Amino acid sequence: MGLVVQKYGGSSVADAESVKRVARRIVETKRAGDDVVVIVSAMGDTTDELIDLAEQVSPNPAPRELDMLLTAGERISMAVLAMAINDLGFEARSYTGSQAGLITDSTHGKARIIDVTPGRIQSAIADGAIAIVAGFQGVAQDTKDITTLGRGGSDTTAVALAAALNADVCEIYTDVDGIFTADPRIAPAARQVPRITYEEMLELAANGAKVLHLRCVEYARRFDLPIHVRSSFSNKTGTLVVSDTSAPEGEAVEQPIIAGVAHDLGDAKVTVVGVPDLPGKAAEIFSAVAEAGVNIDMIVQNVSGSSRRTDVTFTCPMADGQRALSVLEKVKSDIGFDDLTYDDGIAKISLVGAGMRSHPGVSATFFNALAESGINVEMISTSEIRISVVTRADSAGEAVRAVHTAFGLDGSGEAVVYGGTGR
């Protein structure tokens, strides 16, 4: 008998019928002999509706009060989910983030978890009850005010609680079957990955894969907690995110080189034209941008020719683009550059795989695939387990499919068994 932590997102509990379906799934796990702790998000569009209400009342709601308001969403979903489980003859008790011991800092709207003290959850488990915990929320250590964790907060709650409870696995239920080698909507030949390492998952999440959030994967890696990403609409095995994807003893070993191809259409490209080729100029540019709170992703500086001037190009989230431009415009004369250009018609295509470290041919195959499809590469960036390029946004789909095919990732529509775990 083990302990399983399950997290259900808002789309899995969108209405009364969905809540009952999820309740049956939870009860199945309990009936199979495991203890179960469930983290649940707000039902369907509840959070958006509460934000609408706040906007009707106030143009700029106080962050403390916005957190108080939004946490009503999970309060509703967790209570009705507990009711539905009780109706199936199993005891369920719901707990707010505060009651479950999710201790955070006091940064309302994007609080960080400081500590998890799940005494009441442990008591519930000891009593044989199923604990239902509100995702996305906690209580500030110093002010005792209610906080929300921001984007990916419910996934992070699940992983943090699973780690604190020393759970065997944290199951993240979503509306897809798991992690795929590419987004199936643009690469129909994409197949589900049975296992993936934390590092690969981090690179995929950071480069456009939407299924898991960075924070949650980082947390799981720190505690070496297995995450099982799977669909709440089927009983299929999903994708295990673990520290080591080598096959268990006795199973076929076929370590994949490439985990997947990610794409991201959310970035913009800013070029600072005609920067004096003097030491410290890049530092001036990026200090100014950083002070404006803009997150920089890729940076490229062209080689300076005989002109004594160079161009510096970087990418950042589209939402930060105008802020980056206006802060740079202010320091234009100080830095002494000639011009700024802005381009939000770009896509970032990333190839991720722990296996590429030891396979020198990966880059060549990657660039050949793009070249053969006539796709122009505008920027390049690499890490130990990733190669990313910037292309035109309208060639993103073709680029993903070309790379996916070149690395032999195309499946037959069924997930291929490799690395030891079936679907």
Binding positions for a copy of itself, rule: CB under 8 A? 16, 19-20, 50, 53-54, 56-62, 64-66, 68-69, 71-73, 75-76, 78-80, 82-84, 86-87, 92-94, 99, 120, 144
Structure tokens at 300: 């490229």
CB of 65 to a copy of itself, least distance (A): 4
CB of 388 to a copy of itself, least distance (A): 41
16 versus 371: smaller Cβ distance to a copy of itself: 16
Contact indicator for 103, 164 with CB cutoff of 8 Å:
no
With residue 20 as reference, give the H or E element that holds it.
Answer: helix 16-31
CB of 259 to a copy of itself, least distance (A): 39
Contact indicator for 183, 409 with CB cutoff of 8 Å:
no
Contacts with 144 (C-beta within 8 Å, 6 or more apart), sequence order: none
33 versus 59: smaller Cβ distance to a copy of itself: 59
- Beta strand pairing status for 169-174 and 227-231? parallel
93 versus 269: smaller Cβ distance to a copy of itself: 93
Structure tokens at 406: 């070149």
Strands, sheet with 195-197, edge to edge from the N-terminal-most edge strand: 92-95, 130-134, 35-40, 3-8, 169-174, 227-231, 239-242, 195-197
CA 397 remoteness from chain centre = 21
CB of 62 to a copy of itself, least distance (A): 5
6 versus 94: smaller Cβ distance to a copy of itself: 94
88 versus 189: smaller Cβ distance to a copy of itself: 88
72 versus 278: smaller Cβ distance to a copy of itself: 72
CB of 29 to a copy of itself, least distance (A): 19
CB of 116 to a copy of itself, least distance (A): 18
Contact indicator for 351, 261 with CB cutoff of 8 Å:
yes
- Provide DSSP, 168-235: SEEEEEESSSS-BSS-TTT-TT--B-SEEEHHHHHHHHHTT--SS-HHHHHHHHHHT--EEEEETTS-
CA–CA separation, 209 and 201 (whole Å)? 9
CB of 234 to a copy of itself, least distance (A): 22
CA–CA separation, 164 and 153 (whole Å)? 16
CB of 70 to a copy of itself, least distance (A): 8
Contact indicator for 234, 177 with CB cutoff of 8 Å:
yes
66 versus 225: smaller Cβ distance to a copy of itself: 66
CA–CA separation, 35 and 51 (whole Å)? 35
129 versus 190: smaller Cβ distance to a copy of itself: 129
Structure tokens at 83: 């009711």
149 versus 216: smaller Cβ distance to a copy of itself: 149
CB of 114 to a copy of itself, least distance (A): 19
